[in-house]
Amino acid sequence: MRRAGLVLLVLLVVALAVLAQFADIPDGARLRELVDRAGDVAPLVFVAVCAAGTAVFFPKPVLATAAGLLFGVGWGSALAVAGFTAGAMIAFTVARVLGRDAVKGWLGERLRVLEHVFARRGVEAVLVVRLLPVLPFALANYGAGVTSVRGWHFALGTALGLVPSTVLAAVLGDALSDLGSPRSLVALSIWAVLAAAGVWWGRKLITTAARAS
């Protein structure tokens, strides 16, 4: 039963990732039209779209950029973070239910070190994952579900870790008409610095855990 759950999880993740490649992404004008039609419930609709999109591998940068384009940097960032965190928890819960028990018995030495990091310093570990641009957001959500990180640590780390990247994407979305502007260049530079900080922080956590084990 444990293996069956893990196989089902892998198949589900692969299927969602493949389907996401065929998603029809509307342009900015179309998105603005949809928001105008939604009226006062537009923010709630956008949060729901972000949550569902996150769970099914829809490109997060597209939604984060759309947040700035549609609602402005401040309000758009808040809505996007709320939606992304909700979607991340959906994926996390699915993976925890289907795959956690099976993965526990297959941990090698290196994976045990990662398990130690997620178990003891869950919020920090999740924060690091959120700062690393090489790790697909949706895949990291499902992956975290099979680790020993606590659910509320995952939620808190995700929400905090989403703030800088989401705000930066919203800034770019709010300035799509001029990507060469100083504001856009500063946002991209900060993004690169955050990624480098994530690599350094992650190596530090793993090294510390390896020494303690």
16 CB neighbour count, 10 Å cutoff: 17
Residue type, 208: T
When pLDDT is averaged across residues 96-110 and rounded to a whole number, the result is 64
**Residue 189, Cβ neighbours under 10 Å: how many?**
11
Read off the pLDDT of residues 128-151 as tens digits, 9 standing for 90 and up: 888 876 678 888 898 888 888 899
User: What is the model's pLDDT at position 171?
Assistant: 75
State the amino acid at position 200 in one-letter form. W
What element of type H or E holds 157? helix 151-174
Give the pLDDT mean for 71-89.
91
CB 160 within 8 A of CB 84: no
* b/e 133-148 (16+ beta carbons within 10 angstroms → b): eeeebbebbbbbbbbb
User: What is each CA distance from 148 to 15, 33, 47, 101, in whole angstroms?
Assistant: 25, 43, 28, 10
pLDDT band at 191 (very low <50, low <70, confident <90, very high): confident
With 60 as the cut, is the pLDDT of residue 175 above it?
Answer: no
Which of 81-90, 99-108, 166-175 is the most confident on average?
A: 81-90
Give phi and psi for 121, each to the nearest 5: -135, 55
